[in-house]
Chain A
Amino acid sequence: MTKEKIRETVLRALSQIAPEADLAQIKPHLRIRDQLDIDSMDMLNFMIAIHKELKIEIPETDYPKLLTLDDCTEYLASRQGLEAR
């Protein structure tokens, strides 16, 4: 999957959690939590949605690597590469 597709998947997962948000306005280098006013339960649901879509199990210790949209894309691309090997 390309980074662009991963990014779309991430945005789709976020749209389930914050349906009222205009995701086109998200700044990719800023913290998602702050931009969408989401809490830890939302974050857990976000991780579950990502897991369902990409079949990648994200350990809790890696949550700090998924703070921004750019972070998510990079992290998931690298994890996908690792899991494909």
Chain B
Amino acid sequence: MAEFVMPQLGADMSAGKLLGWRKKAGDSVKRGDIIADVETDKADIEVEVFTSGVIEKILVQPGERVPVGTPLAIIREEGETEMLSVSPGAQAGRPSAATLPAPAAPVSPPVIPPMAARLHISPAAKAFAADHGIDPASVTGTGPGGRITLEDVQRAVQVKTAQPAAEAGVDRQTRMRQAIAGAMARSKREIPHYYLSTTIDMNRAMAWMAQANLKRPIEDRLVYGVLLLKAVALALRETPELNSAWIEGKAVLSADVHVGVAISLRGGGLVAPALHHTDRQSLDELMKAFRDLVQRARAGSLRSSELSDPTITVTSLGEQGVETVFGIIYPPQVALVGFGKLVERPWSSQGQIVSRPVITATLSADHRVSDGHRGGLFLAAIERKLQEPETL
């Protein structure tokens, strides 16, 4: 049996409210299906399932707000036989949480006392829990074998402190600011940032794109932001440590490159969903995916994997007239790339002063994972890729 849990959709999410199920007990599901809708502090999200099988039991009803990691349903995986009762683990793993009034009275599953077992908890997590008055038994472990990690306890603390606001019906905009505040404060508190910047000549890239767009119907035209995203994704292959996550005191390399793109929302605030496999997509594929992502982000219909999968973030503030961006890393990521405004500047080329479109690229990176030398190589790789736009 597999548990379908309240997903962690970014470092700024500690709990979510189940808005509704798209499937019911007994329905077949396959990996990638959207089976539930969840409200986070930032947006309403379509949640995908990562197991194929049959929904054995619904554990949480629409209207309930539960912490990240809480089992929402049990899924009988393909080839498994039907269960007779809910597993003790599923019940024991469901922590108490702020429960909003459900539209219909939920059917209570049979209550089975949790196994009296020794808690698997890291020393750092244990100490943090004690400091913040959290009972470790109420925390769902997401580490190997269900081990309770420091991040699990930090989330539980966030839930504890965020609950009054959520319960009081604070509006979405305020909750979004609170969520962003939590993640950014954690980032600045825990991550030793270093910053590098470089100015990139965009003449070739812009000329190449103008030529490419001449041949395209309007729906297929590229925007230069897509070239920047692809250049970042390819440069990460040369400095893979920047495409990592900082987990349990060490850097864990990400197998794939999923660039998170910071998208400002029209009502205020922002989200940074992933463009999956950014390095492997052609510019045409990326452009299509990027357009779709921006439209869905602003319409409030992102998918859970898009919020949980980014391995690095790119933010571009050039449209607002900003020339240089000094970004804050979104944990557990270890790097963020910022792009400023595309501006015409005097530029020295082959002994001549010419006017060129240039852009400032900055890197905010986690010094626990990389050093300035590697960060510099990464920025140089981005610059090099943009001088060969036909290879993107």
Considering only residues 1-54 of chain A, those with a C-beta below 8 Å from chain B are 18-20, 37, 39-41, 44-45, 47-48, 51
Q: Which residues of A contact B210 (CB under 8 A)?
A: 60-61
Q: How far is the CB of A32 from chain B (nearest CB, A)?
A: 13
A72 to B36 CA separation, bound complex (whole angstroms): 43
Q: Are A57 and B267 in contact (CB under 8 A)?
A: no
A58 close to B (CB within 8 Å): yes
Q: Is the CB of A40 within 8 A of B225?
A: yes
Q: Cβ of B319 and Cβ of A39 under 8 Å apart?
A: yes
What residues on B are CB-neighbors of A37 within 8 Å? 266
For chain B residues 41-60, which have a beta carbon within 8 Å of chain A? none
Q: Are B266 and A44 in contact (CB under 8 A)?
A: no
Contact A40 B223, beta carbon cutoff 8 Å = yes
| Contact partners of B295 in chain A: CB under 8 A | 45
Whether B221 contacts A40 by the Cβ 8 Å rule is no
Q: Which of A18, A20, A39, A61 has the most CB of B within 10 A?
A: A39
- Indicate if A64 sits at the interface (CB-CB under 8 A): no
How many positions in chain B have a CB within 8 Å of any CB in the partner chain? 18
* B217 adjacent to A44 (CB under 8 Å): no
A contact residues, range: 10 to 19
Q: Does B291 sit within 8 A of A, measured CB to CB?
A: yes
- CB neighbours (8 Å) of A58 from chain B are 218
Q: How far is the CA of A51 from the CA of B267 in the complex (A)?
A: 27
**A81 and B217 alpha carbons, distance in the complex (Å):** 21
Please determine whether B219 and A48 come into contact, CB atoms closer than 8 angstroms. Answer: yes
> B218 to A48, Cβ gap below 8 A?
yes
Q: Mark B213-235, 1 if CB is under 8 A from A, else 0.
A: 11001110101110000000000
Q: Which residues of B does A touch, CB under 8 Å?
A: 210, 213-214, 217-219, 221, 223-225, 264, 266-267, 290-291, 294-295, 319
5 A-B residue pairs with CB within 8 Å: A19-B266, A41-B225, A41-B294, A57-B217, A60-B213
